[in-house]
Amino acid sequence: MRSPELDGLRHDRLGRVNDRTRPLDAAGIAGLRADLIAADYTLDAVSARLGAAGLGGLARNSSMAAQVVLANAQDLQADLIRLWLLAQPVPEARVRAALSQTDELVAAGLLVAEGEAIRAEVELKPYGDELLSAWICADQTPLDGRSPRPRTDFVLGASPASTTLAQLIPRAKVGRVLDLGTGCGIQALHLASHADQIVVTDLNPRALELARITLGLAGVSADFRLGSLYEPVSGEGFDLIVTNPPYVISPPQRSELVYREGTETSDGLMRRVVAEAGPRLNPGGTLIVLGNWAITDQPWAERLAGWVPSGADALVLQREVLDVYEYIELWLADAGLAGGSEYAQRYAEWLDYFAACGIKQVGMGWFALHNGGRRRPEVRFEDWPHAVHQPVGAAFADFFAAIEPARLFDDQLLATCWQIHPELIQETFAAPGAADPEHLILRQHYGFGRATEPGTALAAVVGACDGDLPLGVLIAAVADLLGVDSLALQGELLPQVRTLVAQGYLQPTS
């Protein structure tokens, strides 16, 4: 969830895009895409060119290994890597050979002439996965030890937070989706594979402009809306809402970086994102949020429970907790203030602000809501710092889908045929030479990676859950094998089976 320190673009004294720029139109974006493909400036090709050393260096914000790999090469791909990834000036003639849209890119403020060379004012990074081949248009990543202060309307690229959020989103087919605070457009790229209609919003006009380029290069259509939180979609409903909002808790009078912090007190912006989502979620709709929250003298789960809209199901996982010092140091460095003349003063302001708000620590994690229409919603809060198996979007969907099966009446639970999750494994542990295992563990090699030690009877029942026989029959058979009363064993195991169903170990046979 921690963002890298990032560099800014050329801007006027008010931090705005120069008014003389002309946004790149659809034809210009199409031409740029054609040039990128013609130069083999794609994820697979660039990754192969730079190799593990070059890519590893860029992951550490170092260009040195990549420069060694490229050496003196002057082919189109090498020049575009220098221009868009390494933030190096390239001779104008070679840029024009690689980019037929050079004049349009300069007019749009994406490139700038410097004598007889041209340099990029944004980062255009190849991006994708097994389903996606695209480019992210965002502000430049600082390389080789540079740590300048970002501009106020800075647009963050593919950060750890945004790539994590992409893995939290359930990928089932949906109708209408809201990408709230789209930034560079990375979430909309992924949403395009399973959404019929995408609405993207942002408070930052420049973010919408760069997101338009990101999505245009990928051929993704979206409805772009300018505005704060849910204001641009007032009165509209969605089947899925995803957001990595400006969640950084900082003194409002010092909120200068639109991409990471707002003007709400404490974690008020996160609260509004969650609390105001209720009317925006269609029946069966889901909200997925990655963010931070304040930890005060009130238990964090009790406090955040007050955010959940009436009638909504919720699963909230707190992944990490930072003390106020570590948190402040993290975000002052992200703002390019570490080692500067303002550092001590700003640090003191944050400490005073946190003390005034009663903030003892800061929690980081994942917040999922679901409009299940239940009279008695399921709301669960967990500290979960453990390793998970990404992507976990399916695990959130499974949690909400399991609510009703886990609430079946006893006779219905016993009459249902259950099957274990296909990626559930059983582990046994014993001393060397022992005839029998001392411990038996059921471990999820999927989703949240839960594990449980079920005991002999429950392990036998779970092991027999292959979807063919009802639970009641399986419990009776295990009771007979163990020589115990069947009804007594039912009473012992049913609550445990409910927990296994709720936590995704067992699923009803479809």
Radius of gyration of the chain (CA): 26
Domain for residue 148, yes or no?
no
CB 176, CB 196: distance < 8 Å: yes
Q: Distance between CA atoms of 24 and 135, rounded to whole angstroms?
A: 15
Q: Distance between CA atoms of 369 and 374, rounded to whole angstroms?
A: 13
Asked if 413 and 360 sit in the same domain, the reply is no
Q: Among 391, 412, 438, where does a domain finish? A: 391
Asked if 326 and 376 sit in the same domain, the reply is yes
Asked if 228 and 359 sit in the same domain, the reply is yes
Asked if 334 and 440 sit in the same domain, the reply is no
Enter the tokens of residue 503. Answer: 């936590």
Q: Among 338, 358, 391, where does a domain finish? A: 391
Asked if 325 and 461 sit in the same domain, the reply is no
Sign of CA dihedral 254, 255, 260, 265: positive
**Percentage helix, strand, coil for the chain under 3-state DSSP, each rounded to 5:** 40, 25, 40
CB 248, CB 240: distance < 8 Å: no
Domain count, the chain: 3
Domain for residue 153, yes or no?
no
SS3 329: helix
Asked if 227 and 254 sit in the same domain, the reply is yes
Domain for residue 31, yes or no?
yes
| Angle 471-477-479 from CA coordinates, rounded to 5° | 100
For 466-486, letters b (16+ CB in 10 Å) and e give eeeeebbebbbebbeeeeeee
Domain interval for residue 87: 26-132
pLDDT at 20: 60
First-last CA distance in the chain: 37
Chain mean position to CA 236: 24
Asked if 411 and 375 sit in the same domain, the reply is no
At 348, the amino acid letter reads A
Enter the tokens of residue 479. Answer: 């009771």
The pTM assigned to this predicted structure is: 0.91
Q: Among 132, 149, 182, where does a domain finish? A: 132
pLDDT at 11: 30
Bridge partners (DSSP) listed for residue 118: 90, 113
Could you tell me the CA-to-CA distances from 262 to 127, 267, 278, 353, 486 in Å, in that order? 28, 9, 21, 15, 59
CB 127, CB 186: distance < 8 Å: yes
In tens digits, the chain (510 residues) has pLDDT values of 333 322 222 233 223 334 467 999 999 999 999 999 999 999 999 999 999 999 999 999 999 999 999 999 999 999 999 999 999 999 999 999 999 999 999 999 999 999 999 999 999 999 998 888 999 999 999 898 877 777 889 999 999 999 999 999 999 999 999 999 999 999 999 999 999 999 999 999 999 999 999 999 999 999 999 999 999 999 999 999 999 998 999 998 666 778 888 888 999 999 999 999 999 999 999 999 999 999 999 999 999 999 999 999 999 999 999 999 999 999 998 888 888 888 999 999 999 999 999 999 999 999 999 999 999 999 999 999 999 999 999 999 999 999 999 999 999 999 999 999 999 999 988 778 776 777 899 999 999 999 999 999 999 999 999 999 999 999 999 999 999 999 999 999 999 999 999 999 999 997
Asked if 52 and 166 sit in the same domain, the reply is no
Strands in 195-202's sheet, in edge-to-edge order, are 223-226, 195-202, 174-180, 238-243, 281-295, 361-370, 313-323, 379-383
φ/ψ of residue 232, rounded to 5: -70, -10
Domain for residue 55, yes or no?
yes
CB 43, CB 128: distance < 8 Å: yes
Contacts with 290 (C-beta within 8 Å, 6 or more apart), sequence order: 1, 161, 164, 165, 168, 243, 244, 247, 365, 366, 367
pLDDT at 152: 85
Could you tell me the CA-to-CA distances from 74 to 19, 48, 344 in Å, in that order? 34, 17, 46
Burial of 396 (0-12, 13-18, 19+ CB in 10 A): buried
pLDDT at 400: 98
pLDDT at 12: 31
Domain for residue 165, yes or no?
yes
At 86, the amino acid letter reads L
CB 92, CB 116: distance < 8 Å: yes
Max Cα–Cα distance, the chain, nearest Å: 90
Asked if 127 and 207 sit in the same domain, the reply is no
Domain for residue 20, yes or no?
no
Q: Distance between CA atoms of 411 and 229, rounded to whole angstroms?
A: 46
Q: Distance between CA atoms of 338 and 96, rounded to whole angstroms?
A: 39
Domain for residue 279, yes or no?
yes
* β-strand pairing of 123-129 with 195-202: unpaired
Asked if 345 and 242 sit in the same domain, the reply is yes
How many other CB atoms are there within 10 angstroms of residue 306's CB atom? Answer: 10
Bridge partners (DSSP) listed for residue 5: none
Asked if 378 and 254 sit in the same domain, the reply is yes
pLDDT at 441: 94
Asked if 186 and 278 sit in the same domain, the reply is yes
CA torsion 11→12→13→14, rounded to 10°?
A: -90
Domain for residue 272, yes or no?
yes
CATH number at 329 reads 3.40.50.150
CATH number at 438 reads 3.90.930
